[in-house]
């Protein structure tokens, strides 16, 4: 039995925001994009609420893993063009920091964020999935940078896409606007798993529970090392990894891990 199941965090009632549904249960914070009538297209309010919800869950001791999913027919069809189409270039430029804040926030969160993707995952929705630390998709999921089909270009999604797959394949997606099926996205390493649609919720819950059962401190420092090291030279990244390893080895959780292994029992993590 996993530690996450042995020592349950208190469940809380779901909280509904204008564009989101947020739930906390068994160490998992679930954020549901909740504009199904608009295919969960991201408007200004959703961008603000999503980033705020993620920051709050990242600081909540009752949460060890965060899952982002979409209500209704799809994960997210991109930005809500009906809200942004008439803005001047200056006004749109002023809004961009808010619209892109989640892309910056997710790597900085002390907890893993899992994208649970079904059906359409396009443009800004594709960017959101790419920003997630891990992604599980249903077999019917399709990924695309489709703004080019409407006279635009997926500028911000291109930043992540070019870092997650080969540059030539990334540019092909950006210039054609073609959608990529989940199996191809998996083959290219853009997502972690592909499962039947009816198994998607179960698969995301299973992966979340497995990670939630680990030391939250080890997970936090490990995620920090993973992302920070990618922006460093090889030598600096090694030194940084060594420093974090030394920090982790001096914690109560590290000692508990070794003791529980020797004593053949489940560890009791304290997060310190």
DSSP string, 168-179: HHHHHHHHH--E
- The answer to whether 7 and 27 are in contact (CB under 8 A) is no
The residue ranking higher by pLDDT, 253 or 111, is 111
- The answer to whether 221 and 248 are in contact (CB under 8 A) is yes
Q: What is the DSSP string of 236-257?
A: HHHHHHHHHHHHHHTSHHHHHH
**pLDDT tens digits, one per residue of 54-110:** 999 999 999 999 999 999 999 999 999 888 767 778 877 877 788 889 999 999 999
Q: Say which residues have a Cβ less than 8 Å from residue 186's Cβ, sequence separation at least 6.
A: 137, 192, 193, 194
Per-residue confidence at 252, pLDDT binned at 50, 70, 90?
confident
Q: What is the DSSP string of 35-80?
A: -GGGTT-B-HHHHHHHHHHHHHHHT-TT-SEEEEEE-TT-SB--B-
Per-residue confidence at 270, pLDDT binned at 50, 70, 90?
confident
**pLDDT tens digits, one per residue of 220-236:** 999 999 999 988 999 99
**pLDDT tens digits, one per residue of 6-48:** 556 656 666 778 899 999 999 999 999 999 999 999 998 999 9
- Main-chain dihedrals φ then ψ at residue 185, nearest 5 degrees: -60, -40
Tokens of 183: 């199996």
Looking at the predicted structure, is the pLDDT value of residue 1 above 70? no
Structural domains of the chain, with CATH:
3-212 (3.90.226.10), 216-262 (1.10.12)
């Amino acid at each position: 039995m996993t530690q996450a199941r042995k020592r349950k965090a208190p469940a809380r009632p779901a909280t509904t925001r204008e564009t989101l549904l947020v739930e906390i249960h068994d160490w998992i914070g679930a954020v549901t994009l909740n504009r199904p009538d608009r295919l969960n297209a991201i408007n200004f309010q959703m961008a603000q609420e999503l980033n705020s919800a993620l920051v709050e869950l990242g600081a909540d001791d009752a949460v060890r893993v965060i899952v982002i999913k979409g209500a209704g027919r799809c994960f997210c069809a991109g930005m809500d063009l009906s809200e942004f189409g008439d803005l001047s270039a200056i006004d749109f430029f002023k809004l961009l920091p808010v619209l892109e804040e989640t892309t910056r926030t997710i790597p900085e969160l002390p907890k893993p964020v899992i994208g649970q993707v079904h059906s359409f995952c396009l443009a800004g929705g594709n960017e959101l999935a790419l920003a997630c630390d891990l992604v599980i998709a249903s077999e019917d999921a399709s990924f695309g940078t489709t703004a080019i089909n409407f006279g635009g270009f997926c500028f911000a999604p291109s930043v992540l896409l070019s870092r997650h797959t080969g540059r030539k394949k990334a540019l092909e997606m950006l210039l054609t606007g073609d959608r990529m099926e989940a199996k191809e996205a998996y083959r290219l390493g853009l997502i972690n798993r592909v499962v039947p649609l009816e198994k998607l919720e179960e698969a995301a819950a299973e992966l979340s529970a497995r990670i939630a059962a680990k030391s939250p401190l080890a997970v936090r420092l490990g995620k920090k090392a993973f992302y920070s090291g990618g922006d460093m030279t090889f030598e600096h990244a090694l030194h940084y990894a060594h420093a974090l390893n030394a920090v982790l080895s001096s914690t109560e959780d590290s000692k508990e891990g070794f003791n529980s292994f020797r004593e053949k029992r489940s560890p009791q993590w304290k997060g310190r």
